[in-house]
Structure 1
Amino acid sequence: MHRRTAISTAFGFALATAQAGQSVVLRYARFSATADDPRIHFPLALLRAALLAQGLEVEFQPAEWAMERTRAIKAVADGEIDFMWSSLGREIEQQLRPIRIPIYRGLIGQRIFIIHREREAEFARIQKLPDLARLTAGQGVGWVDTQILQAAGLKVVSNTYDALFKSLARGTIDYFPRGANEAPAEVAARATEFPELMVEPRLLLAYRSDNIFLVGRENTALAQRIEAGLLALHASGGYQRLFDAHPYVQKVLAEAKLAQRLRLEIPNPMLSDEDRRIPERFWL
């Protein structure tokens, strides 16, 4: 029996035999060396609620080291960690088992920009996509967003997530596109280290995308629990209540001011056919 199969079989047994009130430890991919990465709060709260709807109490344990997306995919596939969340896309869905229920209702594909404060006037002159194409975006290593932006004719360089903030501060990239649910919290979390960075106030680069949960391909037990729990939350209204009440989501939405932005639409050629069939009720 392969190592990953042995791990997922043992994990499936642990799930199946967990008693009421007994916690199961789930290990997840850690994407930043920052002690309190604001991006983890809503996905973990949502997954906790979904699994609790399935009668399963969980404890979440981050990976010991921060890892880039490519390394995280391998860690999940090899059973070193139990799950991750990442953007929809054919490539990752061929390597892992996707649970195709968007975590943020599409906010990940509503991209606003982190920029250097000294560049605000320059971005204020952008009116259409070719204007933006003259500048260079930064994206994380292995992110599917890199291919989406490049397919739209935009220039992109890749670096580690934490290094991209340093690149912005130094001026080696011009902007860092982030999900509307991410940018305000990320800038706030780094205000002391990078006071020169800000959220650009008027542009929105939009495409169909969102984060989903992914587990190892053999980890059927966990995938089924997550999917059933998320569907139950949506059916009961629990998901919408959590989305509407969660302080992280509501704070960043209030700060992002999406309705007031100039919207630049681009396609997402990286979606699988299954991604394109995700029901509209799961999107904003």
Structure 2
Amino acid sequence: MPIKPLLTVLLSVLASMGIWATPLPALADAAKIIRYPRLSAVVDPHGEYIMEILKQAVKSSGQPYQLQASDAPMQQARAIYELTSGMGGIDLLWTMTTDERENQLIPIRIPIDKGLIGWRLPLVTTANSNLLKDVKSVKDLAAFSAGQELDWPDVSILKSNGLPVRTSTSYEPLFNMLKGGRFDYFPRSVFEAQNEFDAHPNHDLHIDKNIILHYPSALYFFVSPREPKMAEDLQAGLEEMIRNGSFERTFQKYLQNPIRNANIRQRNIIVLRNPLLNADKMPLNRPELWFKP
């Protein structure tokens, strides 16, 4: 006899004997685990906001999901492998979207950051606080080198625009590399820069006040192809949050101050192409989902 019917018979017998009192329907309704990657960063610069959005999306979905972090930290490349693997250790990831990632995984095309991942403030050292004051164009910026993690899409985006990039195989060493002069600036999203500045008080960091980089992008939840129902449920949960206003309230709660402090309108905006993403796939017809300065 197959295992599940055998288990059902066994539990029924135990229940009739008074040994097992849990009703069988309750077993079927047991919460399904959503496994997500524990990130490798000492401090995840946007983790608190993302987790709040994810928890609310689960609750708004009306489904009995429970969230569980992976046992070991994972970098992006490893997390994507785990999502695509037939026996992978995680079910969900939040990351910048690309055409390749959308082909590999199930994208939930609601920009949980309202596109802020594509608005980049340069972190520099205090000694180089005025390094970028005369930068007015991509050509001007090409005189300086950026730092990025090797498996981030930003590497290809920056290089495709003619900007030099130095890479690290992991995230935390980038701050030592910046301090040591291995590269000139570390472009970080509007909602990452201040948190990273605060988390690294011994690295002589300074948030540049002169420019901001911009390219079309979005931070999505991606779900493993193994879990299409989970993707549908989370999409429904996020749509309900948008409908009832809780998405916008959470966005403002966490990101209103970083946006205000960025003073985007007072900066020179350096517009970059993003060759990794077909903009036609983005929900640009829904202006309520996007940040505009």
- After TM superposition, the score normalised by the length of structure 1 is 0.85
Q: Hey, what does 2:261 align to over in structure 1? A: 255
Q: Which amino acid in the other structure matches residue 227 of structure 1?
A: Q
Amino acid paired to 2:47: I
What is residue 49 of structure 1 aligned with on the other side? 56
Superposed displacement of residue 72, structure 1: 1.2
Whether the 8 Å CA contact 2:212–2:270 is kept in 1: the answer is yes
The 8 Å contact of residues 215 and 273 in structure 2, kept in 1 or not, is answered as: yes
Q: 2:227 aligns with which of 203, 216, 219?
A: 219
| 1:59 Cα deviation after fit | 4.2
- What SS does structure 1 have at the residue aligned with 2:124? strand
Alignment partner of 1:267 is 2:273: yes
1:173 maps onto 2:177 in alignment: no
Residue of structure 2 aligned with 1:197, choices 205, 214, 237? 205
The separation in 2 between residues aligned to 1:39 and 1:117, in whole angstroms, is 24
Give, in whole Å, the separation in 1 of the partners of 2:257 and 2:31: 30
The 1:254/1:77 distance shift into structure 2, 3 A limit, reads same
- Partners of 1:244 and 1:154 lie apart in 2 by 33
**CA separation in 1, counterparts of 2:256 and 2:84?**
33
Q: Tell me the alpha carbon deviations over residues 87-140 of structure 1, each in whole angstroms, 9 at most, x when there is no partner.
A: 110111121111111011010000111111111122112222111101111111
Which residue number in structure 2 is paired with residue 10 of structure 1? none
RMSD of the TM alignment (CA)? 2.0
Name the amino acid aligned to 1:268: N
Conserved? CA contact 1:38–1:185, under 8 Å? yes
The residue number in structure 1 matching 2:195 is 185
CA distance in 1, matches of 2:176, 2:69: 24
Structure 2 gaps, min length 5: 1-25
Gaps of 5+ in 1: 1-15
| Structure of larger gyration radius | 2
- Corresponding position of 1:147: 156
Contact 2:107 2:220 in 1 (8 A): yes
Extract structure 1 runs of 4+ deviating beyond 4 A: 16-19
Write the letter of the residue equivalent to 2:285. P
Q: C-alpha separation between the residues in 1 aligned to 2:27 and 2:188?
A: 40
Matched, 1:131 2:131: no
Of 264-273 and 216-225, deviating more is 264-273
Q: Which amino acid aligns with 1:255?
A: N
Aligned residue type for 2:68: Q
Length, aligned pairs only? 262
Instruction: Give the whole-Å Cα distance in 1 for the aligned partners of 2:238 and 2:100.
Output: 23
